[in-house]
Every structure is written in structure tokens, then in C-alpha cells.
Amino acid sequence: MRLPLLPSAASPDGHLTRRAAIETVAGCLLLAGHAGAQTPAANRRSVFQHALPDIAIKNWSVTAVEVTYGPGESSAAHRHPGITIAYVLEGEVRSKVGDGPERTYKAGEMFLETPGQLHAVSANASTSRPAKLLAVLLAETGATLTTPEK
């Protein structure tokens, strides 16, 4: 379903304004709340909860990236400037973030990276099946979203 934007919320050049973005998000939340009210609580479960670092997010943007790993593939160690929330869509992904232990996440599981943390391991846990994750990156607008570790 696409939510209509109020004409007054669009800038003269047709770009989305802050007001339009807030109205759109509010509309989505209202629809989600309405849909949730019709769904029995037994059909819902908490998938992920994590405390967030104390940061200001003025002039930040959100970017969603789908990352696909073929069998046995991995990414080089790297860092992100903001908050990254990863959700495993398919297969199993090995990950080591910051001082935490290396862990294998299955489809439907999530993990979080805080600003500047080293993501030392990011790999497909399988040598025979693909793996896929959705990374939602929140960072200052215009920032380089991934920096390889030297």
C-alpha cells in the first residue's frame, strides 16, 4: 500500500520534505498498529532488542542494503560510521562484532553494530548453500557507509 503525501508537504521541486517523511512514517506506524490490533498476541514474538548508544541523529539518513554471500564467501573486516542493524534473510551468517564472540546467526535472527565497531568476521557459515542478510545502516547523510579495516 502506498501512502499519499499531502501536497503541502512536498517541496516545489517534488522532493520529499521532513514533514512529508514524518507524516509517512506516522501513517505506516498507525497502519501497523491497526493491523497488530487485529492479530492475536500469540502470533507475535520479539525478534530482537538491543540498547542503542547515546547519539544525536540530526542530518542522518537510513540505507538498507541486501548482502548476498555465495557458499563459503565472506567480507573483509570493516567498520560503519553509524548504527547498523542486520537481519539474516536466508541461510546462516557468521559474525564477530567489536569485543563480542564470533557467533552464527540463522535466518530470522538479528545483530547490531554500534558506530565505529570493528566487524571482524562477516561470512556465510555454509560451504554449500548461499546466505543473505539485510543491513539497515543509519549514518550521517553523505558519510561513507563502509570503511575496510587496514
pLDDT, tens digit (0-9, with 9 covering 90-100), for 104-137 = 999 999 999 999 999 999 999 999 999 999 999 9
Distance CA 118, CA 74 (A): 15
Residue 65 has what pLDDT? 95
As a dihedral over the C-alpha atoms of residue 79, residue 81, residue 83, residue 87, rounded to 10 degrees, the angle is: -40
pTM of this prediction exceeds 0.75: no
b/e per residue, 91-116, with b = 16+ CB within 10 A?
bbbbbbbeeeeeeebeeebbbbbbee
Q: Where in the chain is the domain with CATH 2.60.120.10?
A: 60-148
Which CATH homologous superfamily contains domain 60-148? Answer: Jelly Rolls (2.60.120.10)
Distance CA 68, CA 149 (A): 20
Residues 37-96 pLDDT 10s: 555 567 877 788 888 888 888 899 999 999 999 999 999 999 999 999 999 999 999 999
Residue 32 has what pLDDT? 46
